[in-house]
Amino acid sequence: MDLRFEWARLGDLSAPAFHAAMVQREAVFIIEQKCIFPDADAYDLQCWHLLAWAGHDLAAYLRVTDPGSKYPEPSLGRVLTNPAYRGKGLGQLLLTEALVRCEQTWPAHANRIGAQHYLLKFYQGFGFEPVSDVYLEDDIPHIEMLRPAIAR
């Protein structure tokens, strides 16, 4: 699959691109996962957005909060694959691209995530390790994970 990645701050995204991201975030996190929570938040204003485009379709998305805004480290979140594109390995491609972008943007920084617990092994495949007990967020089991900084 031919993907085009877009890495941008909110102010640099086009209105249609951010709209596509919000439509997918709503479809996955609110409707599919049945979580009633305010998805759009202040972090959107101060983070990087990574969009994976397959033609004109938003196939996958995540955002990365700056160090010091949510955690001391940069933090990947709102990780999703458009349901129409699941089962094609896009999650792995998205995470790989995100970690490359994080290393370029914040060299020698660790990355921290609050992952849904069922994705523990997926994130461990990228070097993340659990650093907390399992906790509930929006009635979904989560675990905090840390990926150490890459040694230079």
**pLDDT for the residue 85:** 96
- Residues 92-147: pLDDT tens digits? 999 999 999 999 999 989 999 999 999 999 999 999 999 999 999 988 999 999 99
What pTM does this model have? 0.94
**Mean pLDDT within 31-40:** 83
CA-based torsion, 84, 101, 12, 26: positive or negative: positive
Tell which CATH classification among 3.40.50.10860, 3.40.50.720, 3.40.630.30, 3.40.50.2000 matches the domain 4-147.
3.40.630.30
Mean pLDDT of 26-49: 88
Q: Where are the domains of the chain?
A: 4-147
Reported confidence tier of residue 150, pLDDT bands at 50, 70, 90:
confident
| Per-residue tokens: 70 | 């949510």
What is the pLDDT at residue 152?
A: 62
